[in-house]
Amino acid sequence: MSQNVPGFEELLRGCERSAVHLETRDVYAVDYEESGFAAWKAGHRHDPADRASWWRPWLDLVSETVGRSVIIRRARIVSEPVSEYIEFEHHSTFTNVAAGESVRWLPRRRASDLCLPGNDFWLFDDRLVRFNHFTGDGASAGGEMREEQAVVKLCSSAFEAVWERATPHEEFCV
Tens of pLDDT along 143-159? 999 999 999 999 999 99
The reported pTM is 0.93
- Distance, CA of 5 to chain centre: 17
pLDDT at residue number 164: 98
Confidence category of residue 2, pLDDT binned at 50, 70, 90 = very low
62-90, pLDDT tens digit by residue? 999 999 999 999 999 999 999 999 999 99
pLDDT digits (tens, 9 = 90+) for 4-39: 899 999 999 999 999 999 999 999 988 767 788 898
Q: Which residues does 108 contact at the CB level (< 8 Å), separation at least 6? A: 77, 78, 79, 80
- In CATH, 8-123+134-171 is 3.30.870: yes
